[in-house]
Amino acid sequence: METIKTKCLIIGSGPAGFTAAIYASRANLAPVLFEGHQPGGQLTTTTEVENFPGYPEGINGFDLMEDLRKQALRFGADIRTGLVTAVDFSSRPFKVTTDAGVEVEAEAVIISTGASAKYLGLDDEKKYSGMGVSACATCDGFFYRKKRVAVVGGGDTACEEALYLSNLASDVFLIVRKDYLRASKVMQQRVLEKPNIKVLFNTQTEGLYGAEVLEGAHLVERKGTDMEQHLDLAIDGFFLGIGHQPNTKVFEGQINLDEAGFIKTYDGTTATNVAGVFAAGDVADPRYQQAITAAASGCKAALDLERFLLEAE
């Protein structure tokens, strides 16, 4: 069994993890980074990224993550394939185990495992991923200018997505399973008053269709009642607005999490309740969840970690 000892361990990749690795490497901390279950993070499943600074013509999400990865490697980061399956933050050095049986002893840790968008569980969602299906209106909404799109969900997240898209798309359909919106009153009012947003209450999505790219959704109204009705809705984009699930299961009982499972950080820093353990990116950010904010927090986490090690010495 391989055992690694390091001053800085980074769990997870993506904009936060790779940026943390760049800063930690340049600080001569020789960081070890395990990429996790989705090397490069959620952006690797995004076709075009147009809102990340430095790419005026836009860039493919996979290529963007490759650029960040190469930059981290250039400065000496030890990037490894593997998923962390167990952690022990009870004392330093912290102990971590991967799915390959590798054991790591680290003086300090940065967690950047990200968050995964919640999906309905339809096979068609995978089929049309990046080809009409998206979980981020801010990321992909621009590609649907003057087109027809649908958003699934009835909470604040879905309403925010619908309102954002209403300024770009010609028509926005908000697909709501219940006969009411769960969003805040002010958000409900904004949605209902927007002329190009149509709320489809008591409606569920059964499937999606399209030859090569998404062309529409199979819907059912009032499912399970004597008023059940099936219909097809022609759309160009299908957005999930039912929230994100932070990838924090392995850290339960080790650090403080909020009610939704996001890692709590304190005093305006990336520090968790365990001295020497820091969190960066979507795993600690239920609000913004953008590539640029994740990268920025990765920078802050590396600086916080460096300061921690200097003070500990």
What positions carry a catalytic annotation? 136, 139-140
- Residue where the block lists tokens 């916080």: 304
The rounded distance, in Å, linking the Cα atoms of 31 and 306 is 11
Residue 252's CB is within 10 A of a number of other CB atoms, namely 10
* Rounded CA Rg of the chain: 21
Structure tokens at 50: 């147009």
From 148, 115, 150, 91, select the one nearest 247 (Cα to Cα).
Answer: 115
Task: Identify the H or E element spanning 224.
Answer: none
User: Distances in Å between the alpha carbon of 60 and those of 50, 103, 149, 213?
Assistant: 9, 34, 22, 18
Task: Identify the H or E element spanning 160.
Answer: helix 156-166
Backbone angles phi, psi at 130, to 5 degrees: 80, -5
Residues 6+ apart with CB under 8 A from 189: none
